[in-house]
Amino acid sequence: MPGKLGLIAGGGDLPLRLAEAARAAGRPLYVLALEGSASPALVAAARQTEMGYGSVRLGALGEGMRLLRAAGVEEICFAGKVHRPSIFELRPDARAAKFLARVGWRALGDDGMMAALVKELADEGFRVVGPDAVLSDLLVPEGALSALLPDAQALNDIARGVAVVQALGALDIGQAAVVQQGMVLGVEAIEHTDALLARCGELRREGPGGVLVKCAKPGQERRADLPTIGVGTVANAHAAGLRGIAIEAGATLVLDRAAVGAEADRLGLFVVAVAVHA
Bridge partners, residue 88, by sequence: none
Quick one: pLDDT at residue 196?
A: 97
Quick one: pLDDT at residue 163?
A: 97
Quick one: pLDDT at residue 105?
A: 63
Instruction: Report the alpha-carbon distance of residue 254 to residue 138 in Å, rounded.
Output: 5
HSE-up (13 A, CA, CB side) for residue 29:
27
Give me the amino acid identity at 51: M
Instruction: Report the alpha-carbon distance of residue 137 to residue 145 in Å, rounded.
Output: 13
Domain locations in the chain?
5-135, 139-274
Could you report how far apart the first and last alpha carbons of the chain are, in Å?
Answer: 36
Bridge partners, residue 176, by sequence: 214
Quick one: pLDDT at residue 166?
A: 96
| pTM, rounded to two decimals | 0.91
CA 37: distance to chain centroid? 13
Instruction: Report the alpha-carbon distance of residue 163 to residue 14 in Å, rounded.
Output: 27
Topology of domain 139-274, CATH: Cytidine Deaminase; domain 2 (3.40.140)
Topology of domain 5-135, CATH: Rossmann fold (3.40.50)
Successive 10-residue mean pLDDT values, the chain, 278 residues: 88 92 91 92 83 91 96 95 77 90 72 87 94 92 98 98 95 94 95 94 95 94 90 98 98 95 98 92
Instruction: Report the alpha-carbon distance of residue 187 to residue 165 in Å, rounded.
Output: 8
Quick one: pLDDT at residue 85?
A: 73
* β pairing state of 143-144 and 127-129: unpaired
Helices 193-201, 231-239: crossing angle, 10 deg rounding: 20
